[in-house]
Amino acid sequence: MYRTHTCDELRMDHVGQTVSLCGWLQASRDFGGMTFIDLRDRYGITQLVFDVEQDRELCERARRLGREFVLRATGLVRERSNKNPNRNTGDVEIEVQSLDVLNPSKVPHFTIADKTDGGDDLRMKYRYLDLRREPVQQNLIFRSQLALETRKYLSDKHFVEVETPFLIKSTPEGARDFVVPSRMNPGQFYALPQSPQTFKQILMVAGLDRYFQIVKCFRDEDLRADRQPEFTQIDCEMSFVTQEDILQTFEGLTKHLFQSTLGVELPDFPRMSYDEAMQRYGSDKPDLRFGMEFVELNDLAQNKGFSVFDQAELVVGICASGQADQYSNKDIKKLTEWMQRPQIGAKGLVYVKFNADGSVKSSVGKFYGEEDLRAWGERFGAQAGDMLLILSGETEKTRKQLNELRLEMGRRMGLLKAGDFKPLWVVDFPLLEWDEDSGRFHAMHHPFTAPKKADVERMLTGDHDTMKSLRADAYDLVINGSEIGGGSIRIHDRELQSRNFDLLGFSKEEAEAQFGFLLGAFEYGAPPHGGIAFGFDRLCAVLNGQSSIRDFIAFPKNNQGRDVMIDAPAPVASEQLDELRIDLQTEEEVG
């Protein structure tokens, strides 16, 4: 037997017992006559003592051990004279009688402690060392618990966990596919699933009734800050359900997960239509931890001689409480420049300050009298000390820009409180989105999403402009400004699905070649069905009040999509390429 206890187990009750512990050397302290070693495993840390008086040779050996050596120590549990109240095992220590070095270790490249000096690249290259750190281990343990609770809740509700294949044909979810060449079918490729969407729908046609899977999905996107090329979803589908049934079921799951992992009781989730979210927050995933809602000013601010506002489709702003005296002219200038960066692209930023002394000051004071500005303030419900920040321009763009400003002000004002959870359902998404650049419609959610019942007829017979106004039974679960989940009621009728492919610019042949199996399945008694998928990595992060999903993935990729530990992607041997009939001619060879 390697060990009798873990490094977090021993208490005063164990005093006098002979025990064996295994673990890594976290730290050692040498006081001449005495040497102390902190021995660490996943569970905690226990102090080992070596006394020169008792065993000189053993003590000498202990002194020579380095950080991260793997040890097995056997000895007597005794009470510590100098207790450590910050540690579960802090009342006791082990008077070591025998010590085995199970494996030595090179000096690690960074300190293995809660706060490490290791930079990102180094930590990823030596991820096995990084993963020894307690906060990182806790993240993985949390993730495991979250998966377990998900399975408990869903299997209680009669969901069946079914594995769907990874080697499939492209499923358009709006990203590029990762492709895998087929050796047995030269020149042909599998695609890795962007999601199990079509399979879970087929499972509904097959009568499984309720499906779920905690599953990897793959999307070959340019990696924005918090994206991973492979990520995990809690993927679900249900038959004979309306949108209401799905929202209830998965609101239930979310509440269960918060309750069982954090002990947090969430109140019923508010719902907001997509249009309302865009109008009030300029985002389809508003952070409701704070207000600062948009207020539109067109009627009050236009036709008073300020041409920028007069020409704008929308004049809209937010009210930053108590910020009037926090922003000097220089600060406002800086904030304006921040808004003008290409990432946001605002043309300018107008402010109105309602100073604590009752005076009003504005960057557009030349164009508007105090009475005008006070009327604006009234609409915002502004108090003395508040500052209005106002943008103008084309509606959609301006709202997006103001969303960024609202979030930034929320951050600066400390309103994004950790531990405060504000979930909501965003519903009634448009079915289709017109893309000016490519001159075609895109599916707002994905091509299998059904229009609302009331819109089916208009979808089948309407003209181009009608299509822009179709609404879908599609919904997103948003928590604290993060999209946690999204789904929809699906089309289960061949004719309607064909019409949708048609609107999305697929020819009959293309639709048949890519989705013939699904269209075919719809001809054999497809039940009405719908579903949702939760971003599992994101859910882990949000529950922990953290912004990065990478911290909850054991082996994440970096921003270039590389795994720097195993050094992938990498070239393959030319024999492998030959077998796959892939010819990687360089430009020179092609000549």
Residues at the site binding ligand ASP, with contacts judged by CB under 6 A: 173, 195, 197, 446, 486-488, 531-533
**Residue with Cβ nearer ligand ASP (171 or 392):** 171
Is residue 178 within 8 Å of 218, Cβ to Cβ?
Answer: yes
Tokens of 153: 């809740």
Tell the smallest beta-carbon distance from residue 535 to ligand ASP (Å).
8
Residue placing its CB nearer to ligand ASP in the complex, 320 or 540: 540
**Cα–Cα distance, 314 to 320 (Å, whole number):** 20
Q: Is the CB of 297 or the CB of 426 nearer to ligand ASP?
A: 426
Q: How far apart are CA 228 and CA 558, in angstroms?
A: 8
Least distance to ligand ASP from the beta carbon of 173, Å? 5
Q: What are the C-alpha distances in Å from 356 to residues 193, 322, 457?
A: 58, 9, 57
In whole angstroms, how far apart are CA 267 and each of 157, 249, 261, 538, 581?
A: 21, 15, 16, 21, 58
Closer Cβ to ligand ASP, 99 or 533, answer by number:
533
Taking residue 3's Cβ as centre, other Cβ atoms within 10 Å add up to 16
The C-alpha atoms of residue 276 and residue 331 are separated, in whole angstroms, by: 32
**Least spacing, CB of residue 213 vs ligand ASP, in Å:** 11
Distance CA 446, CA 474 (A): 10
Among residues 62 and 236, whose Cβ is nearest to ligand ASP?
236
Question: C-alpha angle with apex 106: 102 to 108, nearest 5 degrees?
Answer: 115
Least distance to ligand ASP from the beta carbon of 483, Å?
Answer: 9
Q: How far is the CB of 517 from ligand ASP (least distance, A)?
A: 17
The closest alpha carbon to 197, from 161, 155, 156, 233, belongs to 233
Angle at CA of residue 234, ends 474 and 521, nearest 5°: 65
Nearest-10 Cα torsion for 98, 101, 106, 108: -60
Q: Whole-number minimum distance, CB 355 to ligand ASP, in Å? A: 48
State which amino acid sits at residue 497. Answer: Q
Could you tell me where the DSSP H helices lie in 225-311?
Answer: 243-262, 274-281, 298-301, 307-310
> Could you tell me if 128 and 104 are in contact, meaning their C-beta atoms sit under 8 angstroms apart?
no
- If the CB atoms of residues 136 and 444 are measured against ligand ASP, the closer one turns out to be 444
Between 353 and 490, CB nearer to ligand ASP: 490
Q: Name 436's Cβ contacts closer than 8 Å, sequence gap at least 6.
A: none
CB atoms within 10 A of CB 509: 9
* Nearest to ligand ASP of 195, 514 (CB atom): 195
Cβ of residue 177: shortest distance to ligand ASP, in angstroms?
14
What does the alpha-carbon distance between residue 554 and residue 143 come to, in Å, rounded to a whole number?
A: 10
Closest CB to ligand ASP among residues 269, 309: 269
Q: How far is the CB of 419 from ligand ASP (least distance, A)?
A: 28
State in angstroms the smallest separation of the CB of 529 from ligand ASP: 10
Structure tokens at 26: 């976290």
The smaller minimum CB distance to ligand ASP, of residues 430 and 486, is found at 486
Min dist CB 218 to ligand ASP, Å, is: 11
Alpha helices in 325-419 (DSSP H): 329-340, 370-380, 395-412
Burial class (CB in 10 A: 0-12, 13-18, 19+), 434: middle
User: H-helix or E-strand containing 138?
Assistant: helix 134-156
Q: What's the closest the beta carbon of residue 442 comes to ligand ASP, in angstroms?
A: 14
Radius of gyration of the chain measured on its C-alpha atoms: 30
Q: Least CB distance from residue 503 to ligand ASP, whole Å?
A: 18
Give whichever of 472 and 553 is closer to ligand ASP, judged by the CB atom: 472
Q: Which uninterrupted H or E stretch holds 590?
A: helix 587-590
3-state secondary structure (DSSP) of residue 207: coil
**Closer residue to ligand ASP, CB minimum distance, 44 or 481:** 481
> Given CA atoms 453, 459, 463, 467 in this order, what sign does their dihedral have?
positive
- Residues forming a β-bridge with 472: 451
Q: How far is the CB of 496 from ligand ASP (least distance, A)?
A: 17
Count the Cβ atoms, other than its own, within 10 Å of residue 244.
9
Q: How far is the CB of 532 from ligand ASP (least distance, A)?
A: 5
Residue with tokens 């960057």: 363
Alpha helices, DSSP H, located in 381-529: 395-412, 456-461, 464-468, 494-503, 508-521
User: Looking at beta carbons only, is 368 or 429 nearer to ligand ASP?
Assistant: 429
Shortest Å, Cβ 521 to ligand ASP: 17
Nearer to ligand ASP, 214 or 384 (CB): 214
Task: State which residue, 159 or 380, has the beta carbon closest to ligand ASP.
Answer: 159
